Amino acid sequence: MSAVIDSGHAHDEHAQGPYRGIMRWITTTNHKDIGTLYLWFSFTMFLAGGTLALAIRAELFRPGLQFWHPEFFNQLTTMHGLIMVFGAIMPAFVGFANWQVPMMIGAPDMAFARLNNWSFWLLPVGALLLVGSFFVPGGATAAGWTIYAPLSTQMGPGMDFAIFALHIMGASSIMGSINIITTILNMRAPGMTLIRMPLFVWTWLITAYLLIAVMPVLAGAITMLLADRHFGTSFFNAAGGGDPVMFQHIFWFFGHPEVYIMILPGFGIISQVIPAFSRKPLFGYSSMVYATASIAILSFIVWAHHMFTVGMPTAGILFFMYATVLIAVPTGVKVFNWLTTMWRGSMSFETPMLFAVGFIFVFTMGGFTGLILAIMPIDIQLQDTYYVVAHFHYVLVAGSLFSLFAGFYFWVPKWTGRMYDETLGKWHFWLSMIFFNVTFFPMHFLGLAGMPRRIPDYALQFAGFNEIASIGAFGFGLSQILFLWIILKVTVLGRGEKAGQRPWEGADTLEWTHLPSPAPYHSFHEQPVVG
């Protein structure tokens, strides 16, 4: 027994370093390395999904069919959605969790270091299956990212590739969530009680529970789909006693919490950045925690607002409408809290703060349109039109993506020990902000005018706004090349001024107060004590 302990000691004193070269990344169990892998992976997928988006907008620049056949166009919209949701946004937030959660709670690493390696390395496999499906006979799935049956049972083998990819990525998410929950609940430094945790950690704790609750539901839905496709079952086929609408119920029972999975950690990032650059504590810390939890709970009882046009009974419609509008209350609490945090602060506007304020502005607009869509009679006009496309890009691009940008600029000095290029960062913000709105604001008008989503060609009264949206999309896409350059400059090339331990004077979480920049490969060998 004592021998075991002794050998442990000997090991500890031994100088530990990672393997060299590629093996470092394949075998790593270090939360910082794995965080970096997640972030590069998600950025690669972001560029891939963005390329598909530009292919879509090129076709929609003018009425008529110019570049793609309709069936390939449907593959583009489907894969754009799947890649962005499962490949870009979700892994990016897990990357942030890997880097930040241990450092913010004073833990040396994640709870399950090898599981952590495995949850990352599943992702490239899933991504290869997903992207590779473009090259199988019949091409990738073209049933929309929502893969509604029975359209999805008509698809070729590309659909099976997508199903397996989702299974694998779902398994990765579940393992990542287990790891995050265990780390947060068990590895906090002494004195770091739950109600003292930074909000980013809180939002991820809640998000991880959501993931564990709903990823198996998605897995169930796509497995039933697989059985309908190949094993002669009729879960979603009326001719065999099934019901196509059941697929939608199961899918959105996963899908609505999924929407919050993609935004809650973003709320967490914004709740770190706003106080730091206002030099003032968050106005209502505990009400922010309660609001996050309420949003998570409500997300389980609103799913059918995605299905207001399937022909539900009146009582069902009323229930889901009332429950949906209720979400406006905790969301409002969040926005009001950010504003009162800024109020009478001493604000400065470096790039992270610009993206955070930009986030509040455009995300709130997405919230407004969400409220409009929640009113079922109005939704009758807007369901499955470009208004919905505008709405969810306001919350997902301007919401999730802008919060990720804010988080990157905020923490990259801690990760690399160098400051990013502030001038280019500001350019990145303004270009993204302007072109984002040029792209997506006109889509509200298209939706009100009645343009359905997911169509490769459109009637002439929609021509004007589509042209504007396409120009904006190319501007937005090209602005992200600038972002790539900013990242390369501060990471791979290692250029930029050296960052101090605490480059943002208002930042007060453990990674800024206790760790140097760059954070050492193994941080918190000795537990910090939170006073």
| Residues identified as active-site | 80, 109, 145, 172-173, 256, 258, 260, 271, 305-306, 331, 334, 453
Among 7, 16, 309, 423, binds other proteins (CB under 8 A): 309
Alpha-carbon dihedral 252, 255, 256, 258, rounded to 10 degrees: 160
Query: Interface with other proteins includes 19 (CB under 8 A)?
Result: no
Would you say 46 or 320 has its CB closer to other proteins? 320
Using the contact rule CB under 8 A, the part of the chain among 140-148, 169-177, 254-262, 412-420 near other proteins is 140-148
Which residues between 59 and 78 bind other proteins (CB under 8 A)? 63-66, 69-71, 74
Query: Interface with other proteins includes 326 (CB under 8 A)?
Result: yes
Within 8 A by CB and 6+ apart from 246, the residues are 235, 236
Would you say 322 or 521 has its CB closer to other proteins? 322
CA dist list (Å): 176 to 99, 197, 268, 400: 13, 20, 18, 19
Query: Interface with other proteins includes 503 (CB under 8 A)?
Result: no
Using the contact rule CB under 8 A, the part of the chain among 109-117, 295-303, 305-313, 485-493 near other proteins is 305-313
Within 8 A by CB and 6+ apart from 201, the residues are 100, 101, 104, 105, 184, 268
Query: Interface with other proteins includes 348 (CB under 8 A)?
Result: yes
Instruction: Fill in the DSSP letter of residue 76.
Output: H
Q: Read off the tokens for 40.
A: 């590069």
* Closest separation in Å from C-beta 138 to other proteins: 5
Q: How far apart are CA 129 and CA 140, in angstroms?
A: 10
Which residues between 72 and 111 bind other proteins (CB under 8 A)? 74
Which residues between 443 and 462 bind other proteins (CB under 8 A)? 445, 448-450, 452-462
Contact 68, 78 (CB under 8 A): no
Would you say 96 or 308 has its CB closer to other proteins? 308
Contact 115, 426 (CB under 8 A): no
* Closest separation in Å from C-beta 355 to other proteins: 14
Query: Interface with other proteins includes 144 (CB under 8 A)?
Result: yes
Among 49, 91, 102, 139, binds other proteins (CB under 8 A): 139
User: Residue 134: how many CA atoms within 13 Å on its side-chain side?
Assistant: 17
Using the contact rule CB under 8 A, the part of the chain among 184-192, 347-355, 416-424, 518-526 near other proteins is 347-355
CA diameter of the chain? 81
Among 23, 310, 478, 484, binds other proteins (CB under 8 A): 310
Would you say 340 or 527 has its CB closer to other proteins? 340
Would you say 212 or 371 has its CB closer to other proteins? 371
Tally of CB atoms within 10 A around 127: 22
Within 8 A by CB and 6+ apart from 464, the residues are none
What are the residue ranges of helices labelled H in 449-527?
463-490, 510-513
Among 189, 212, 279, 508, binds other proteins (CB under 8 A): 279
The residue count for the chain: 531
Tally of CB atoms within 10 A around 377: 9
Query: Interface with other proteins includes 209 (CB under 8 A)?
Result: no
Among 52, 111, 143, 206, binds other proteins (CB under 8 A): 143
Would you say 209 or 445 has its CB closer to other proteins? 445
Using the contact rule CB under 8 A, the part of the chain among 308-316, 399-407, 419-427, 496-504 near other proteins is 308-316
Within 8 A by CB and 6+ apart from 421, the residues are 486, 489, 490, 496
Which residues between 151 and 180 bind other proteins (CB under 8 A)? 151, 153-154, 156
User: Residue 40: how many CA atoms within 13 Å on its side-chain side?
Assistant: 12
Q: How far apart are CA 447 and CA 373, in angstroms?
A: 11
Q: How far apart are CA 56 and CA 466, in angstroms?
A: 11
Q: How far apart are CA 501 and CA 10, in angstroms?
A: 31
Within 8 A by CB and 6+ apart from 61, the residues are 466, 467, 470
Among 104, 264, 360, 438, binds other proteins (CB under 8 A): 360
Using the contact rule CB under 8 A, the part of the chain among 103-111, 315-323, 395-403, 431-439 near other proteins is 315-323
Using the contact rule CB under 8 A, the part of the chain among 22-30, 177-185, 239-247, 296-304 near other proteins is 239-247
Among 282, 304, 499, 519, binds other proteins (CB under 8 A): 282
Among 118, 148, 300, 474, binds other proteins (CB under 8 A): 148
* Closest separation in Å from C-beta 213 to other proteins: 26
Q: At what angle do helices 264-278 and 90-105 cross, to 10 degrees?
A: 50
* Closest separation in Å from C-beta 526 to other proteins: 31
Which residues between 462 and 481 bind other proteins (CB under 8 A)? 462-465
Supply φ then ψ for residue 144, to 5 degrees.
85, 155
Would you say 252 or 462 has its CB closer to other proteins? 462
Among 42, 299, 383, 439, binds other proteins (CB under 8 A): 383
Would you say 215 or 307 has its CB closer to other proteins? 307
